[in-house]
Chains A and B, each alone.
Chain A
Amino acid sequence: MIYLDYNATTPCDRRVLEAMEPFLKERFENPSSLYRGSRENKKAIEQARQQVARLLSCAPEEIFFTSGGTEADNWAIKSTAWALREKGNHIITSSIEHHAVLNTCAFLVKQGFRITYLPVSAEGIVDLEVLKKAISRETILVTIMHANNEIGTIQPLTEIAGLLKEKGILFHTDAVQTAGKLPLSVKELGVDMLSLSGHKFYGPKGVGALYVRKGWRLPPLLHGGEQEHGRRAGTENVAGIVGLGEAARLAKEEMAEEAVRVRALRDKLEEKIRQSVPEVIFNGHREKRLYNTANLCVKYVEGESMLLHLDFEGICASSGSACTSGSLEPSHVLLALGLPHEVAHGSLRFSLGKYSTESDVEAVAAVLPEIVAKLRAMSPLWPKER
């Protein structure tokens, strides 16, 4: 299998699995109990908290473990909205957020909150001037993702934070696609809250974290026991948390080298496609984007049909076409870039990672031109007379 869908999820690193294993077997004690095994497990959680804190250059007390990126996004947005309701009812986000943010915002609309969805440029970047104009006295929260999962575009968080600080507006970012990929410093980014997810950087699924800046007492979303200092109830997913910690440690150590290697592979893949497939549009900002992501639209063909043919060749990729989203609309991200619907239907995303190789890139380059040619030959939209 040739796996080029690392933005969807990543395989667990072998070292992560090894770190987790004892907690799925003999080290099963509840970390909240009193006996020694429990205290040891509590320590393991605190070690993981440090590892994640180091990844973000923050204090361990500012890290709260969750069940993943979705929960972290829900928690940050809902609890902030509810806590500051007296102050205002306006939230600003972007039009290209992950559904974990978009649908949370849509839910809040039903409760009387007002949401502004900032447009993005054709490269997928939010405009600071538009943001400035959108801010009102009612604005209580701005939530803008760090890097987009589909096109990889990276937002100017530091600049945005600069605008918000003077106004005292809280700033959350969904950094699910950058945590573990890019060096992150929450201080430099200037965010008050940041979501991350383990399975996007070789950790396990179903575990993530929310960074909450010291000084902002974000109320809990989940009520129950006193875990996570009473901020996130529920018996800890010890194995998952330990795995997340180990993944964070490995990422911190290895990401610099990985970034160089993966970027070279991604660039090569794009170049090969550019040379061998006519009428292709490459999406996302050319420089300000994730080094592992290639997103393109192949005109006159539909995305799912390309994915199926790639799958026949053992290649896993993804698409923002309507058919793969289970709706009738193509990806909201591609539409926000201003791409026409019929072009957005023909999108393909290849996202590379730690186990991607030169031969993976060669394999795609070897089959994609034929797949496209075959589908175009049967497409009534493809101008055949040229």
Chain B
Amino acid sequence: MEYTEKVLEYFRNPRNMGKMENPDGVGRVGNPVCGDVMEISIRVKDNRIEDIKFETFGCGAAIATSSVVTELARGKTLEEAEKITNQQVVEFLGGLPPVKKHCSLLAEEGLKAAIADYRARQARKKAG
């Protein structure tokens, strides 16, 4: 199986890795049984993703794609970030082995889950 240099680089030196104190939204996707879990946390200011972090249990592709999706989303408005697709993540990395495509999907879903969680929290705040 071949990883591109870019995948290896993001795996080795992942950007935006770590836990966030008091995030505004958190998305956790995947399942330890399947071998990958991603958690993406966002801080939102004026409808923009001001800060974003990830934690991942998984293979090289899982770690690289979660890091890349955080890079792509940082500074974007929520609406822009929601449009980020796994295909963009794959293209950014210069390709992924076919068996690893699901990792990029998980990264996309993780980001969407974090945004959805943020929106749900906002809705609750308004209501409560």
Known contacts A312-B12, A378-B14, A380-B39; A304 and B33 CB within 8 A of each other: no
Known contacts A308-B8, A378-B18, A380-B57; A341 and B36 CB within 8 A of each other: no
Could you give, for residues 8-26 of chain A, a 1 whenever the CB lies within 8 Å of some chain B CB and a 0 otherwise?
0000000000000000000
B35 touches A321 (CB 8 A): yes
Q: Which residue, B1, B28, B59, B63, has most C-beta atoms of chain A within 10 A?
A: B59
Residues in chain A near residue B12, CB distance under 8 A: 308-309, 312
B59 touches A304 (CB 8 A): yes
A305 within 8 A of partner (CB): yes
A236 within 8 A of partner (CB): no
B23 within 8 A of partner (CB): no
A341 touches B34 (CB 8 A): yes
A326 within 8 A of partner (CB): yes
A378 touches B35 (CB 8 A): no
For the complex, what is the distance from the CA of A11 to the CA of B54, rounded to whole Å?
Answer: 41
Query: How far in angstroms is the closest Cβ of chain B from A113?
Result: 31
Inter-chain contact total with CB atoms closer than 8 Å: 75
Q: Which residue, A309, A323, A342, A384, has most C-beta atoms of chain B within 10 A?
A: A323
For the complex, what is the distance from the CA of A126 to the CA of B125, rounded to whole Å?
Answer: 59
Closest chain A residue to B55, Cβ basis: A380
B99 touches A330 (CB 8 A): no
A384 touches B35 (CB 8 A): no
Contact of B62 among A300, A302, A384 (CB under 8 A): A302
A145 within 8 A of partner (CB): no
Closest chain A residue to B98, Cβ basis: A326
Interface of A is mostly: loop
Residues in chain A near residue B3, CB distance under 8 A: 308
Known contacts A308-B8, A326-B99, A381-B37; A321 and B59 CB within 8 A of each other: yes
A33 within 8 A of partner (CB): no
Known contacts A302-B58, A378-B55, A379-B55; A342 and B33 CB within 8 A of each other: yes
B116 within 8 A of partner (CB): no
B37 touches A380 (CB 8 A): yes
Query: How far in angstroms is the closest Cβ of chain A from B28?
Result: 7
Residues in chain A near residue B45, CB distance under 8 A: none
A322 touches B34 (CB 8 A): yes
A341 touches B99 (CB 8 A): no
Residues in chain A near residue B60, CB distance under 8 A: 304-305, 308, 323
A1 within 8 A of partner (CB): no
Known contacts A305-B63, A378-B63, A380-B56; A342 and B14 CB within 8 A of each other: no
For the complex, what is the distance from the CA of A381 to the CA of B36, rounded to whole Å?
Answer: 10
For the complex, what is the distance from the CA of A312 to the CA of B36, rounded to whole Å?
Answer: 22
For the complex, what is the distance from the CA of A323 to the CA of B18, rounded to whole Å?
Answer: 23
A252 within 8 A of partner (CB): no
Query: How far in angstroms is the closest Cβ of chain B from A379?
Result: 4
Residues in chain A near residue B8, CB distance under 8 A: 308
Q: For chain A residues 258-310, which have a beta carbon within 8 Å of chain B?
A: 300-305, 308-309
A328 within 8 A of partner (CB): yes
For the complex, what is the distance from the CA of A134 to the CA of B12, rounded to whole Å?
Answer: 50
B57 touches A308 (CB 8 A): no
For the complex, what is the distance from the CA of A312 to the CA of B7, rounded to whole Å?
Answer: 13
Contact of B59 among A300, A305, A312 (CB under 8 A): A305
A308 touches B11 (CB 8 A): yes
Residues in chain A near residue B17, CB distance under 8 A: 377-378
Known contacts A380-B56, A380-B57; A342 and B32 CB within 8 A of each other: yes
A323 touches B11 (CB 8 A): no
Closest chain B residue to A300, Cβ basis: B57
Could you give, for residues 3-27 of chain B, a 1 whenever the CB lies within 8 Å of some chain A CB and a 0 otherwise?
1000010011010011100000000
Closest chain A residue to B8, Cβ basis: A308
For the complex, what is the distance from the CA of A258 to the CA of B119, rounded to whole Å?
Answer: 64
Q: For chain A residues 326-379, which have a beta carbon within 8 Å of chain B?
A: 326, 328, 330, 340-342, 345, 377-379
27 contacts between A and B (CB under 8 A): A300-B57, A302-B35, A302-B36, A302-B62, A304-B60, A305-B11, A308-B3, A308-B8, A308-B12, A308-B60, A322-B34, A322-B35, A323-B61, A323-B100, A341-B32, A341-B33, A341-B34, A341-B35, A342-B32, A377-B18, A378-B54, A379-B55, A380-B28, A380-B39, A380-B56, A382-B57, A384-B19
Contacts A323-B60, A330-B35, A378-B17 aside, 10 further interface pairs with beta carbons under 8 A come to A301-B57, A305-B11, A305-B62, A323-B35, A323-B100, A341-B32, A341-B34, A342-B33, A378-B56, A380-B39
